[in-house]
Amino acid sequence: MTTDIVPKNDDAFDKFQKQFIGAVAPTPDKFGVPPADVAQLQADQTAWSKAFPAHVQARADAEAATKTKDVAKAKLEKGLRGAAKKVNGTPGVDDALRAQAGMPAHSPVRTPVGPPQTHPIGRLAPKGHTTLVLHVADETTPQRAAKPRGVHGYEIWRHVGDPAPADPSGYAYVGTLTRTPFTDVFTAADAGKNVYYLLRWVSTRSQPGPWSDVVTAKVPL
């Protein structure tokens, strides 16, 4: 527990110094503070009373200047990107001209998109009678719903009832989705049964990635 009675926060410090000096200055002897100390406090208070508002104003000015700068940069950046695309799309513009404009060399060959290297992770949540909602994210960004680069969507494979299949061949293909979540509605006969899911990303060239871990839940009654 701190024993320092002087606040560190500037606003709290300003309030404290006003209250302290305002109370002690009129009758310093009653508080046991020498008049010379009070005189020094008042002189320091005068300096603070000029410096603190100036600091507050400077901070507000800096925040406003930063916002103005960010808006101007965003607008100019958008214009630069658009102009750079036109440069790259103009016949006769070679790498020497690009270098003159500060642009990197342009390669007309696109890097082919390979199969996904990561796997999806799934999270199941019940939603009323015989309904489960499957939320999907990538293993590298579990808090975001965005797909990895070069991925078209994710395959859902499912098995209802025990025991769980020993390998992917025991699962039935449900579909390929491009968005999450997926709502899975079961028949009344499946209520109370365990259901198992396998997931995998599929690239824009229909190349599948590695399988996810098994995601399981009980079909709500």
Burial of 43 (0-12, 13-18, 19+ CB in 10 A): exposed
Cα-to-chain-centroid distance, residue 175: 29
Cβ atoms of 181 and 135 within 8 Å: the answer is yes
Architecture of 120-218 per CATH?
Answer: Sandwich (2.60)
Average pLDDT for residues 169-185, to the nearest whole number?
96
110 pLDDT above the threshold of 70? no
At 2, is the pLDDT very low, low, confident or very high (cuts 50, 70, 90)? low
- Helix orientation angle between 10-24 and 35-88, rounded to the nearest 10 degrees: 160
Structure tokens at 101: 């404009």
* pTM, full prediction: 0.52
Q: What's the whole-number average pLDDT of the chain? A: 94
**Residue ranges of domains in the chain:** 7-109, 120-218
Of the candidates 148, 150, 175, 170, the residue with the CA atom closest to the CA atom of residue 160: 170
Q: Is the pLDDT of residue 109 over 90?
A: no
- What's the pLDDT band for 23 if we cut at 50, 70, 90? very high
Q: Tell me which long-range contacts 49-58 makes (C-beta under 8 A, separation of at least 24).
A: 52/10, 52/14, 55/10
pLDDT digits (tens, 9 = 90+) for 65-81: 999 999 999 999 999 99
Q: Cα–chain-centroid distance for residue 190? A: 38
When pLDDT is averaged across residues 123-143 and rounded to a whole number, the result is 95
Pairing of the two strands 131-138 and 182-185: antiparallel
pLDDT for the residue 106: 80
**pLDDT reading at 1 higher than 90:** no
